[in-house]
Structure 1
Amino acid sequence: MLDQREKISALIITYNEMGYIEKCIDSIEFVNEIIVVDSYSTDGTYQYLNNHPKVKVIQHEFENYTAQKSYALKQATHDWVLFLDADEVVTAKLRKEIKCKARKESEHCAYWFYRKFMFQNRPLRFSGWQTDKNYRLFRKSKAQFAKEKIVHETLIVNGTSGILQQKLVHFCYKNYEDYKYKMLKYGRLKAKEAHKKDKKFNYLLLVFKPFWKFFNHYIIRLGILDGKKGITICYLNALGDFERYKELQRLGKKEKMAYFLVKS
């Protein structure tokens, strides 16, 4: 049978990813090129990537996740793109499935991946993540990132999509401070996104939304079954929502101050 497999470009964006990026790169050495766009890391990530014989690393100033990923997408040489986060790992079984799907006559032009979340080196089975899925494999010619989303970026696909059976391993939690920083950063970016859409701050959302996020993930979505891991993850996810509305409040005050200064 004629081999219809096409070449694959793997893309990753990074900032201070030592401890994660090594396993990610090792798991994708089967692709035809690996391109990493680094946001001027200070922990040795850039040096590690720059010395890796199979990696092309480009430093590019970070504006937001969508802008950074859109820039990375433009660097890909091949049409089939495997776009990973630096803390994700492709298993041997998933590798076979990816190679099987990246073909000239593939049934779909994009594929969703379910993810297996890891709390350090232990599985996180619930806590709201059990149904999480993301686009990770797609044709560059058939997809683009929605410009209005600056965090939890959205891929717009011109064609049909499939779902892979094997899960991508996601090492979401290195340590408490690392995950807290990540959630606070996401919260602030979500606030900027909301502010651009003229969403207004109110105290009800500041109180209710973080409480609901914790209750929903810990009770309804069974974070309680993850034990202490579940409490930690659900609390920090709720903290991200709290930061989101605090930042929205700050942005609103800043806008009003600028308005009054212009008027005066």
Structure 2
Amino acid sequence: MAKLFRIYHRIVRCIIVTMKNTLSALILTQNSEETIRATLESVKSLANEVVIVDGYSKDKTIEIVHKVYKVNKVCKVYKKKFTEIGKQRQYGLKKCTGSWVLILDSDEIISSQLREEIRLKIKNEKLKIEENAFWVPFQSYYLGKLLEHGGERYHQLRLFRREALKILPSLIHNKFEIVNNKIGYLRKRIIHHSYRSLKQIFNKFTDYGIRMAKEKYYAKEKSSLKKIIFYPLHMFWARFIKDKGYKDGMFRIPLDIGFMYMEWLIYISLFIFNRKKLKIKN
């Protein structure tokens, strides 16, 4: 009888621990058919739940999701018109039920090393975790080539306890509030295929430039001839020279020119918004 009781106790304890350490992967999608399969496959063996917030994709994004995840209890898809990244993630976070949440974009992949690191961090019952969130390093690729310099080695806050974080409104950048501000760092990287073709880069930077101009407009920032002319030049200098982007090779020059274009678009758009005093719609 005592032996049966001990077995029962261990089973109950395992169930409780599992409930405490469940992980929800929150992924935003919008016309992401090119990359979403790899993203989903990278979290399939890690996440207990996958929550997708789709901005009404017109391609095969959702069809691919259903092919990868055939069990609806694991993968849940919600439709929400995309207005700003903060609102999409706020909405998605409310749908998550895991004790921990991992935020991903549809062009990001969890490496096998990071997958194991996350598993050891949050699913090890013997490891007492004081942190409420973790900064995760990124590894960016441009046209399939790894970038090591020029602002492409960075961290983002992507893994956190669901009850310990609040997502703030934001048109483009991640903004969070963390309970007790207990934040740690993970060592292994998220693989980010952000720059896949010159056309995709141009469309991405055009979208980002206009959205960042809106953020600055709402913040009452003013544009000027100096910002329109010199900020783009400084952007190229900072990425390619100061932050040693040249060490990656000359092949990345079009990318840094793209960042230069985005910076110019921000301030020329801001100038137009301020001049016409437009009531901007998201």
TM over 0.5, shorter chain? yes
**Distance in structure 2 (CA, Å) of the matches to 1:27 and 1:221:** 31
CA distance in 2, matches of 1:109, 1:89: 22
Out of 143, 153, 156, the residue aligned to residue 177 of structure 2 is 156
Partner deviation per Cα, 1:30-61 (whole Å, 9 max, x = no partner):
21011111111112112222443153211110
The separation in 1 between residues aligned to 2:61 and 2:254, in whole angstroms, is 27
Identity percentage of aligned residues? 27
Q: How many residues align?
A: 255
Greater displacement, 97-106 / 215-224? 97-106
Give the counterpart letter for 2:142 in structure 1: F
Q: Render the CA deviation track for 1:100-147: whole Å, top value 9, x for unaligned.
A: 2225742211000011111232211112112x1101110111111222
**Is 2:133 aligned against 1:110?**
yes
Query: 1:69 is matched with which residue?
Result: 89
Structure 1 gaps of 5+ residues are 259-264
| In structure 2, distance between residues paired with 1:11 and 1:229 | 34
Q: Partner amino acid for 2:176?
A: L
**In the aligned structure 1, how far is the partner of 2:160 from the partner of 2:139?**
20
Q: Residue 70 of structure 2 aligns with which residue? A: 53
CA contact (8 A) 2:36 2:64 kept: no
Matched, 1:122 2:160: no
* Aligned twin of 1:39: 55
Distance 2:167 2:269 in 1: 25
Task: Look at both structures and tell me which one has the larger radius of gyration over its CA atoms.
Answer: 2
Pairwise mapping of residues 111-260 of structure 1 onto structure 2 (< 5 A)? Answer: 111-130=134-153, 132-147=154-169, 149-159=170-180, 160-255=182-277
Distance 2:210 2:117 in 1: 36
- The answer to whether the 8 Å contact 1:40/1:46 transfers is no
Q: 2: CA distance between counterparts of 1:135 and 1:153?
A: 8
Runs of 5+ consecutive residues of structure 2 not aligned to the other structure: 1-9
TM-score normalised to structure 2 length: 0.85
Q: 3-state SS of the aligned residue for 2:249? A: helix
CA distance in 2, matches of 1:245, 1:252: 10
Contact 1:217 1:223 in 2 (8 A): yes
User: With structure 1 as the length reference, what TM-score do the two structures score?
Assistant: 0.91
Which amino acid in structure 2 is aligned with residue 167 of structure 1?
R
Check conservation: 1:119, 1:229, Cα contact below 8 A. no
Look up the SS of the partner of 2:158 in the other structure: strand
**Matched residue, 1:21:** 36
- SS of the equivalent of 1:101 reads helix
> 1:223 and 1:230 mapped to 2: Cα distance?
8
- Residues 127 and 221, structure 1, Cα contact 8 Å, conserved in 2: yes
Q: In structure 2, what is the Cα distance between the partners aligned to 1:249 and 1:67?
A: 26
C-alpha distance in 2 between matches for 1:247 and 1:137: 34
- Residue 87 (str. 1) matches residue 103 (str. 2): no
